[in-house]
Structure 1
């Protein structure tokens, strides 16, 4: 095994429609703990999302593409509400197994989940102030990545932030050890290590992104793909009752 280049053909166990449903549910349920440890969204919220939210008048619409169990979306909504923003959070994912876990875990109002792809929301003419994703980029093939970036731009009136793992030998070794307490009975260790092998370095991602996108500094072991689209106009819905 080598980490010198992306292993984009490596499959993750939980992406198999026939995978063990019990192990899958455990994996999804434990994502919240994993993401609190490794995703760095609190810092990204403070440095990047919060300024964008502050530029919105009235209610804010926040979309999480490929939301999985919804823990990142719920965390961002809590952070925004703590800062006084009126937020409507929407999570989309094509996998009903993930959405079932998200619905069970969601106790906060103002957060909804849909079985959908981003291009379906584009076709429906939907708009959001901020569009995010977590651990999605490394799952995508070349044409799928192009589609995600284009759909994100079409959906976001203010800001897109896609956050993912940065591939490195240090990240691989640290995750292999650090995930041990949470891994039993789940796909977390196997799929987490495969995710790292599928992921981009910052330089690789920067070279892959189209014009208008950037890869700013990110928390350790993370890469960010960011697109700012201020001035493109407000979302078409979600402004009532600001």
Structure 2
């Protein structure tokens, strides 16, 4: 059943989802991100970006920023590395920014559909983690081109590998730890909507962008470009 990307809809993407459900899911998703080392691929890529470009300051946009936990991780990374960062979160949910602010996220914020962003707006780096599986293939091809047009120094995607092992582990884990019903519902759908290397190779070729596809532990793919 995981041979091709699922088109099943996630509860989090439902406009009828409540703020209480959204916030409850964000809390558990942050726990999952910490346990599964979800920040590590993005922070390692930022290390590589700084090394290859010599940048001492960066404007960074996080697409699908949710509750801002990735932005907070980038802020900590920048403080350790001595890199001056200007951070911006983008999420279409009206509840994302309040949740991020309450969690202490220091960033500008855009509440809108990503494709509605001013075409003239540019950032040094554009990142997104566990976001692209929410997009169907035609929109994902469009998003790859969008990234390439808006990132001056580079862009990076980190998302799930579609495979029975993470599917089974996540199915059991979210129930064992009694996570929010939205997380229980969406977690395995997210993996079923995830990617194989062949998927990424096809999508990158269709978008006609230059990108490097790499495996990341555990069960994740990164797709990125650095303009050195």
Same fold (TM over 0.5): yes
Deviation at 1:64, TM superposition (A): 0.4
State the shift of 1:43 in Å: 4.3
CA distance in 2, matches of 1:222, 1:22: 29
The 1-side partners of 2:54 and 2:151 are apart by 12
Deviation readout 1:82-131 (Å, 9 max, x if unpaired): 11111111110111122221121125x4x2221133334452x2221111
Q: Distance in 1 between matches of 2:145 and 2:85?
A: 24
Question: Structure 1 regions of 5+ residues with no counterpart?
Answer: 231-242
Equivalent residue pairs, number = 224
Gaps of 5+ in 2: none
Q: 1:36 is matched with which residue?
A: 34
The 8 Å contact of residues 62 and 129 in structure 1, kept in 2 or not, is answered as: yes
Question: Which residue of 100, 103, 111 corresponds with 1:115?
Answer: 111
In structure 2, what is the equivalent of residue 168 of structure 1?
A: 163
Instruction: State the 1:52 CA deviation.
Output: 1.0
Greater mean alpha carbon deviation, residues 19-28 or residues 87-96: 19-28
1:240 corresponds to: none
User: Does the CA-based 8 Å contact 1:35-1:72 persist in structure 2?
Assistant: no
CA 1:166–1:57: 2 relative to 1, 3 Å: closer
Take 1:173 and 1:223, find their aligned partners in 2: how far apart are those partners? 18
Aligned with 1:88: secondary structure?
strand
Contact 1:122 1:151 (8 Å CA) reproduced: no
Contact 2:213 2:223 in 1 (8 A): yes
| Alpha carbons of structure 1 residues 195 and 148: separation in structure 2 relative to 1, 3 Å | same
For residues 102-181 of structure 1, what are the structure 2 equivalents within 5 Å? 102-107=100-105, 109=106, 111-123=107-119, 125-181=120-176
The equivalent of 2:46 in structure 1 is: 49
The aligned residue for residue 64 of structure 2 is 66
User: Which residue number in structure 1 is paired with residue 80 of structure 2?
Assistant: 82
Query: What is the CA-CA distance between 1:39 and the residue it aligns to?
Result: 4.7
TM-score normalised by structure 2 residue count = 0.89
- Provide the rounded CA distance (Å) in 2 between the counterparts of 1:225 and 1:188: 25
TM-score normalised over the length of structure 1: 0.85
